[in-house]
A and B are shown apart, each in its own frame.
Chain A
Amino acid sequence: MANDKKTQSAAVKSLKATGAAAAYQKEWFAGLRKRVDAGEAFGYLNADVPMEVLRAMDIPFVVNQWWAAICAAKRMTGKYYGLLRQKGYRDDLCSYCATALAESFDPDDKTEGPWGGLPNPTIAITRLTCDCQGKIFELFAKNHGANFYAMENTQARKVPLKWWELDEDRWEELYDSDRLDAAVEELKELIRYLEQITGRMFDTNKLIEVMHLINEQELWYKKTRDLIAETSPVPVTVVDTINAVMQAQWQRGTRWAADHAKSLYEEVKALVDQGYHAVPNEKIRLMWIGRGIWHDFAFYQNFEHKYGAAFVWSMYLAMGADAYIRIGVEKDPLRALAARYIGMEDFLHMPPWNAQWWLKEARTNKIDGVVYMIPGNCMQAVEGSYFAIKTLEDAGIPVLIFEADPVDARKWNRDTMTDMVEEFIENRIIGK
């Protein structure tokens, strides 16, 4: 008899919103290509760059990690890392951030690349949130003939534990004032630079509009997150929510993204109202900490039939719910934006903020166990796992931690990983 757990099947996604997000992204990307072909400026950004500035200036952009996920889903990363090796680079470093750099060495990218390949950006922008980012982006920019721009990063001295209670409207209490001051100055410099190279004016009123649209979008995520947390059996799993949210999050600040977030909520709510159960035999609720396994989404569903174990939580929906909303932006929109972007890394990667948040989320989502993936070649994702595990396990929530890569399938063995999670479920959750 075939062993179900080891079947390399594709993930089964049930939400219309998930399909709609994927379809929109393709259509949007085709439109972006036309704009670039027509001579418009085009930005390539790392995920932690305050993209709201480019949105407000109507400069189209692609986000590095989203594009890496597309490359992984299209199974292109093996080829790309091979190109890195050919060019004398190591092929085992910084996979998530260096995929686009690797792709830029592909002479056939414009014909064989994902969705017709990546158009040549006008500008590549990153933040210096690790030692490698600036180097990777400078090399990427050079290969594409793009301008390279780096924004600095600062560390929090003040660390009130429950950041999610302060970030929406009390950011002056949450952050050191000088950090906010510095981030606002960084924004002003970026804006001036973009104005000069694109010839477009940055309009503060437009930024306020963008920020309002983002608030609208993220409020729908908050409602969706809360609905999933309080509903058991769960109406949808991370297989749907990660895809639906991640793609739309990179479109934040647009009418489409806000409407899509609303449609996601309404669809999930309808499922709840209909009594639909994504995992009808749900017995165990799992939390996924870490980036998505973009090359093997079906993995998340491997434990549903045998154990009734459903992955109900990932950061993708919950970060939108807790980390993005900023109330009262009109008073000082740049400071409100600064208060959004400087915390993103800290919330996810800095103890104690990450651990405290995961504990809060685990409790509200009635989590039975946490599966925690850390990539082996990314210092940015090294985030105090000892403290996270201790915080969760002291609260009675067992944690399985393992190494894997979100985009490099060469390092992934579905069977081994499945066995590991099964053993965790049997011994640490069922048998505890």
Chain B
Amino acid sequence: MGIRDCALQSSAFTALKYIYDHREAVAEKWRADGKKIVGQLGCDVPDELILAAGMLPVRVYADQGRPLKEADKYLEFSFDPVVRSQFEKLVDGSYGNLVDYLAISNSTDTIVRIFLYLREIRRQEPEKNVPPIDFIDWLFTRNRMHQERNELIIRMFRETLEKWSGHPITDDDIRSAGAICNENRAALRRIQALRRCAEPRITGSEALVIIGASLFMEKEKHTELCLQVAESAKNWPVAKGPRIYYTGSNQENTDLYDIIEEAGGVVVGEDQDWGDRHYDRDYKMEIDPVRAVVDRYMLRQYSAKKSFVSQRVEALDAEADAVRADGVVFFTHAYEEAASWDYPSQKQSLELRGIATAAYAKQIFPIAKNDGLAESVKEFIQQLKGGE
């Protein structure tokens, strides 16, 4: 399964796949046109504000197989492999040549370290081609005081963007960008509905391509293509097989989902940032524009890193129910450990509800380097099928 011919025959899907496979394409065109680009490291950098500033947000991602000369020089061994690769591109000039600025959110403690290290590199080794940086220091625990603090932090980020863009950002600019993002999320939810329904028409790998493309292109264009795919996919064949919910490390490409789906499962949902979590919760048009940004990023689906075990158990149970999961796959990269503390409680709760689980910890990147992973996944899917 994975990405099927029916998807590849869709011009809208192939257009999205082109962007997914050529992630610099749109940014390079923007740059050639003299327009500004903001790289986003971490999943909590608000698109709405960057768009309101008239700039293009693009997500920093890891390259497979790239030598990690800079990462090996600056980073301790306990940085996870995906972050190592992202860091490499941030220090070796790849992003310095692509983006004008870098916005980093404290989405994981590893990324916080990356911010501190990049700041030091810029201070001590200014000859390195590392873009100017702003850091968004969210407070993720949910209470009034933290909400107010987050509003201050987002106002500061707005001011930074005004400096970067060279012009003021009005409330109307932010609201307009919020509306654009909401339309994009609505389009992605139409894709989601075609995954979560009783007879899924879109596979997990196909969904990752559709969702992931939105991280590297204009939102309006993405929305348009996404709606075309949603329309076309109504007639795609049903993806048959045990329904799998995925939780764990971000999957920046389709390799793991391909393994699951080639083994006969169908990934119908996930809580990772390159999947369903990316478009969870809308920007509230009716409230103060900065508060609406805070509301959207602070109160959406719990992240694996910034929430407590009980919250994660409840959230995963709800998601597994919502997608009618037959099985849940837990997957974490080596040194990306926080979710490991959630796992035993989540596993216990799911199994009490009759949902089978498979767990893969300490995984390396790229996925293909994990000996035995494909075989183990296949075995799990076979178990879900009743051992046929």
Contact = CB atoms under 8 A, between A and B. Distances in A.
- Pick from A155, A378, A379 the residue with the most CB of B within 10 Å: A379
A271 B263 CA distance: 72
A382 B115 contact: no
Given A90-B340, A386-B73, A352 B109 contact: no
A139 B342 CA distance: 9
Interface in A341-367: 350-352
B338 A132 contact: yes
Interface stretch (B135-143, B198-206, B271-279): B135-143
A382 B135 contact: no
Size bin of chain B's contact surface: 35 or more
Contacts of B348: 88
B341 A130 contact: no
Contact of A89 (B112, B140, B306, B344): B344
A150 B116 contact: no
B343 A379 contact: no
Contact of A379 (B73, B113, B340, B342): B113
A266 interface: no
Nearest to A150: B141
B308 interface: yes
A138 interface: yes
> 10 tightest CB-CB pairs across the interface, nearest first?
A88-B344, A131-B338, A135-B341, A131-B305, A152-B139, A131-B109, A130-B109, A138-B308, A386-B74, A351-B120
Interface string A24-41: 000000000000000000
Contact of B135 (A87, A138, A157): A157
Nearest to B74: A386
Given A148-B308, A386-B73, 6 more contacts: A135-B342, A376-B78, A377-B78, A379-B110, A379-B113, A384-B116
B106 interface: yes
B309 A131 contact: no
B120 A352 contact: yes
B120 A131 contact: no
Interface of B: 73-79, 106, 108-110, 112-113, 115-117, 119-120, 123-124, 135, 137, 139-141, 143, 145-146, 149, 152, 305-310, 335, 337-338, 340-345, 347-348, 361
Nearest to A84: B344
Interface in A127-176: 128, 130-132, 134-136, 138-139, 148, 150, 152, 154-155, 157, 159
B25 to A, nearest CB: 33
Contacts of B112: 155
Nearest to A155: B137
A374 B79 CA distance: 13
27 contacts: A88-B344, A88-B347, A89-B343, A90-B337, A94-B341, A128-B141, A131-B109, A131-B338, A132-B341, A134-B141, A134-B308, A138-B309, A138-B310, A139-B341, A139-B345, A150-B141, A155-B116, A155-B135, A155-B137, A157-B135, A182-B149, A185-B145, A189-B143, A352-B120, A379-B113, A386-B75, A387-B120
Nearest to B136: A155
A2 B73 CA distance: 40
A178 interface: yes
A351 B116 contact: yes
- Pick from B113, B116, B141, B306 the residue with the most CB of A within 10 Å: B116
B336 to A, nearest CB: 9
A178 B151 CA distance: 12
Given A135-B308, A135-B309, A138-B309, A89 B341 contact: yes
Interface residues of A, number: 43
A380 interface: yes
Contact of A350 (B110, B116, B143): B116
A192 to B, nearest CB: 11
B120 A189 contact: no
Contacts of A131: 108-109, 305-306, 337-338
Interface in A249-268: none
A382 B309 contact: no
A138 B149 CA distance: 24
Contacts, number: 111
Contact of B337 (A374, A377, A386, A390): A377
Nearest to B153: A178
A186 B145 contact: yes
A154 B112 CA distance: 10
Contacts of A379: 78, 109-110, 113, 335, 337
Contact of A87 (B76, B79, B306, B344): B344
A186 B145 CA distance: 8
B340 A89 contact: yes
Contacts of B145: 182, 185-186, 189
Contacts of B137: 154-155
A385 interface: yes
A132 B344 contact: no
Contacts of A94: 337, 341
Nearest to A179: B137
B77 A403 contact: yes
- Pick from B109, B115, B119 the residue with the most CB of A within 10 Å: B109
A93 to B, nearest CB: 5
Contacts of A155: 106, 112, 115-116, 135, 137
Contacts of A403: 77
A152 B137 CA distance: 11
Contacts of A385: 76
- Pick from A88, A152, A376 the residue with the most CB of B within 10 Å: A152
A389 to B, nearest CB: 11
A152 B146 contact: yes
Contacts of B343: 88-89
A143 to B, nearest CB: 12
A135 B338 contact: yes
B152 A178 contact: yes
Contacts of A135: 308-309, 338, 341-342
Contacts of A387: 117, 120, 124
B20 to A, nearest CB: 28
A93 B337 contact: yes
A402 B167 CA distance: 49
